[in-house]
Structure 1
Amino acid sequence: MKDLEFNIFDTKLPKIEPMKGRILIAEPFLQGPYFNRSIVFLTEHGDEGAVGFVLNKSSDLYPDEVIEDLFSFKGEMFIGGPVSSNTLHYLHTLGDRVPGSIKVTENLYWGGDFDVIKEMINSGVADHHSVKFFAGYSGWSPGQLEEEIKENSWIVSTLDDKTIMEGDVDDFWKETMANLGDVFKMWTNFPENPSNN
């Protein structure tokens, strides 16, 4: 047997620190209904831990089916993560027109006055291109995310705001991973369960 001179899991990607506004890309074999082949957008990261939302796990529900007085919203309801799955969260590009919202990137905001969001949607000022709804969220206690990154469960990267809001859910993980380079392109072809190979 000949030893290979390279390791397809030994990536040369520069280490990027997790922080608010960055994304986490799940490694190919990370299991579980929430994080399997997921892309998580971090809205908070600091001494108290991290908070984020899974961008590419849609539910079978639409927000106007479950939110009272919300009319004809064409976007899907996404599953933000395993924490408090009965709570509603939202990212938006409406800025400080929504009181109480938290700026995450240059154009993306998290939360804020829900009645204002509803009114803007119902009046046609906002739509599924400018608001993204999530049931639940992803959370990490202090140091937990850093440990998972050391274990290579996540790759930290960045995405532009438009892709975060409007990326194609079905191919989101595959395309984002492939855009990191050739080694990662190979990762996209791995079976989700290696024992099925």
Structure 2
Amino acid sequence: MGITALKDKRERGFLDGQFLIAMPGVQDSSFARSVVYICAHSPTGAMGFIINRQQELSFPNVLEYLKIVEEPHTAFLSEQARYFPVLYGGPVETGRGFVLHSDDFSCESSIPVSDEISLTATLDILRAIAEGRGPTRATLLLGYAGWGPGQLEAEISNNGWLNCASQDDIIFDPCVDAKYERALALMGVSPEMLSTEAGHA
């Protein structure tokens, strides 16, 4: 499932707006110790974004690459824009950018994900952020995570993932290192408690 399916969907699946938290048995390097925010889940598949994996690129790098701001001018960006978080969203379409953001910003291409969070995948929002008129809370993600029909359900059944209600503070926190533990804490679980289950994943 991709961004087009998200735009076309009419009703929310039971995992929409939830966190997926990788169990210790997940060996795929893209998903080990990951927290994924699910944006769309339906019989045709699921898509979401890893929210705790930093990108090497900075936001000014992205603006320069896309020619939104020329290099000499990046020094004059606001502090918010200079340190705007850029994350690795997942292994699908890693050259494509998506912005998860609070619903106080909207343009024609913005798609509501939940009552408070929207997704925008066009340059309009990057320009707005660079100019200081973007959403209050946001993060840029390069790439996304996708699952085919029934694939995610099978992975959950095989003890690959825990799922729980998401929390905006965790999604938008620019400090990614503690997100795995914080997401587990929403369920009253610590990583040490999961280690005994690793053999079943």
Task: Tell me if the contact between 2:86 and 2:142 (Cα under 8 Å) persists in the aligned partners.
Answer: yes
Match of 1:22 among 4, 15, 18: 18
The AA in structure 2 aligned to 1:40 is: V
The Cα of 1:97 is off from its aligned counterpart by 2.4
Q: 1:28 to 1:187 in 2, by over 3 A?
A: farther
Distance in structure 2 (CA, Å) of the matches to 1:112 and 1:135 = 10
**Residue aligning to 1:78:** 87
Length-normalised TM-score, structure 1:
0.77
- CA RMSD for the aligned pairs? 2.4
The Cα of 1:124 is off from its aligned counterpart by 1.1
**Residue aligning to 2:62:** 66
Q: What per-residue deviation string (whole Å, max 9, x for no partner) do you get for residues 1-59 of structure 1? A: xxxxxxxxxxxxxxxx8521111011123112211100000111112100000000011
**Residue aligning to 1:110:** 119
**Residue aligning to 1:148:** 155
Partner of 1:147: helix, strand, or coil? helix
The Cα of 1:159 is off from its aligned counterpart by 2.0
Q: 1:112 to 1:82 in 2, by over 3 A?
A: closer
Partner of 1:34: helix, strand, or coil? coil
The Cα of 1:113 is off from its aligned counterpart by 4.1
Percentage of identical aligned residues = 29
The Cα of 1:96 is off from its aligned counterpart by 5.7
Task: Tell me if the contact between 1:98 and 1:113 (Cα under 8 Å) persists in the aligned partners.
Answer: no
Which moved further from structure 2: 151-160 or 94-103? 94-103
Task: Tell me if the contact between 2:37 and 2:166 (Cα under 8 Å) persists in the aligned partners.
Answer: no
The Cα of 1:84 is off from its aligned counterpart by 1.3
Distance in structure 2 (CA, Å) of the matches to 1:113 and 1:161 = 22
Which moved further from structure 2: 153-162 or 118-127? 118-127
Larger C-alpha radius of gyration, 1 or 2? Answer: 1
Say whether 1:178 aligns with 2:185. yes
Distance in structure 2 (CA, Å) of the matches to 1:28 and 1:122 = 38
Match of 1:33 among 13, 19, 29: 29
User: Which stretches in structure 2 are left out of the alignment for 5+ residues?
Assistant: 1-12
Task: Tell me if the contact between 1:94 and 1:109 (Cα under 8 Å) persists in the aligned partners.
Answer: yes
The AA in structure 1 aligned to 2:38 is: L
Decide which structure has greater helix share: 2
Match of 2:40 among 32, 41, 44: 44
**Residue aligning to 1:12:** none
Q: Number of matched residues?
A: 173
Length-normalised TM-score, structure 2:
0.76
User: Which stretches in structure 1 are left out of the alignment for 5+ residues?
Assistant: 1-16
The Cα of 1:167 is off from its aligned counterpart by 6.0
Partner of 1:125: helix, strand, or coil? coil
The Cα of 1:188 is off from its aligned counterpart by 6.0
Task: Tell me if the contact between 1:100 and 1:113 (Cα under 8 Å) persists in the aligned partners.
Answer: yes
The AA in structure 2 aligned to 1:147 is: A
Task: Tell me if the contact between 1:93 and 1:131 (Cα under 8 Å) persists in the aligned partners.
Answer: yes
The Cα of 1:76 is off from its aligned counterpart by 2.6
Distance in structure 2 (CA, Å) of the matches to 1:173 and 1:148 = 19
Task: Tell me if the contact between 2:90 and 2:144 (Cα under 8 Å) persists in the aligned partners.
Answer: yes
The Cα of 1:187 is off from its aligned counterpart by 3.1
Say whether 1:93 aligns with 2:102. yes
